[in-house]
Each structure stands twice: as structure tokens, then as C-alpha cells.
Amino acid sequence: MMPRKVLVTGAQGQLGRALQALAPDDLTVIGCSSAELDITDAKQVDSCLAAHRPNVVINAAAYTAVDKAESEPERARLVNTEGARNIAAASIRYGAWPIQISTDFVFDGTQSTPYTPEVPTNPLSVYGVTKRDGELAAHAASEGQATILRTSWVYGPVGSNFLLTMLRLMQERDELGVVCDQIGTPTSTYSISRALFALVQQDLGRGEILHWTDAGVASWYDFACRVKECGERYGLLGAGSAVVRPIPTVEYPVPAVRPRFSVMQVSGLLGRNGTHWATEVGQMLQEIAGAA
């Protein structure tokens, strides 16, 4: 049997690069960067899928600048909503299974227990609204066949993310104030990639909304402290690098409102095989140090 063919959009983003790096031997993974495939262009999407004829399309392309989206709502909508619609519609047209990546920011954070996929969404930001609308658009355009995979606080060894920003700021400053009253789960791009490939290989979750994060919970302050601890351990930061100070959200005003609590319950068919977030952060920083 020929290997199944998986097309990944946003191939130069942090998740797209992880998906290509971790591709299993029994899958053929084709990466299309935003320069190669503009998902907001329906004709371009159609031509791409017609040319490659994938079995699965993982839409890892997204507008993820949460605060910038508040001043660029139309651009965020085009990528996160219309792009998701275009990918799902073309996937179904050419017999492919669309998997749409979404976010914990579709929730309002008012719960005190982990969110399950059935909980009604109520996003607080432009980014959250456009991702929620992208879920709905993918579902409708795919005639209910798209899988929605929500994840949270994503980071990897490349791209723009909290882990890499903290490493840089800890080298540049003597002290950092980091928000301590927003709670979620940091999740590695490697972990998400493994979960996605498990779905594809086992042909699970078609038409479902699924949640995947690493294990455990944290505040952004907890996340930063772990980056500092492991950054020093692996030589990415000097001993006694920047002091990390916990601050409340009100002391760090930003354009977009974040959910205060966005921990998600991992979907049963994915199991709870994810590593604890603190372990994943340590492994990621060890890898970055080894590559430096």
C-alpha cells in the first residue's frame, strides 16, 4: 500500500515545521508555506489540492498575533476564518480529510474546571472570534467531515512564541514581570505533531472537535520560571539571569483580552499520553542548547 499523503499548510510556521520534522515513515508529508500557498485565495487552494491530491490536509496556517489582531481584524478574519473555509471546501472537493487547528482562546475563561469540547465557545478577542468562526466555517464547508483540534499556549524551537521570547528577554533585562493569574497548559509543537499523526495513522476523529494539550496546568509566570530554570541548566542563560516577578493581569495591559482559565480536557480518543508540560519545556530547551 502506498503511504498516505498529508499536506500541511503554514509549513514554515512553528507547528508546520514540527509536523515536517516528525513525519512518520508511513506517511508522505508535503509542506506548503504561506509564500507557496495563500490559504485566503480559494483558487490557489483549489489548484494546490488538485495538483497534490492529498489524503489529509492539516491546516496549520494561522494569523496568531493575538494583540495585533485587535487592530487588524479583517486580516485575522481572512486567514483564520476564510482560509479555514477554503481549505475545508477544497479538501472535500478532492476527497481529502481536513484537520483544522484551533485554540483555547475560543473560550472565555470563566470556568474553574477543564473545558470539554461540548462547552459553548465565547471568545474574548478578535483572534479568538476568528478562530471560533474558522471552526464553524471548516465544519460547514466540509459538510461536517472536518476535524477540529484545539490546543493551547503553543511553543517550539523556532518561530515567535512565549518560550523563545522569555529566553531573549532574560538575556536582555535584569527583571521581568510575568502574568500569574492566567492559567492554561503550555504545549509543545512536537507533542501536537505526535497527536495529529496518531489521529491520521489510526483514522480517528473525523468530524469531531478534539482537545489536545500536554499534561498539567501553569500560569505564564510558572512557564517563565521553568524557562529560566532550564535555560540556566543548559547554558542558554547565565547563572542568576533575570529575576522573574509574578504580576496580575491588570499590571500588564495589552490590546487583547485573554481567558483567565483555559485548561482543556484532553479528548478520550487521544488518551492522556502527553508528557507533563514542564518536562516538555525542559526537553525543548535541552534541544535548543544542543543546536546552539
Report the catalytic residues: 127
Grid coordinates given for 160: 515567535
Residues 6+ apart with CB under 8 A from 250: none
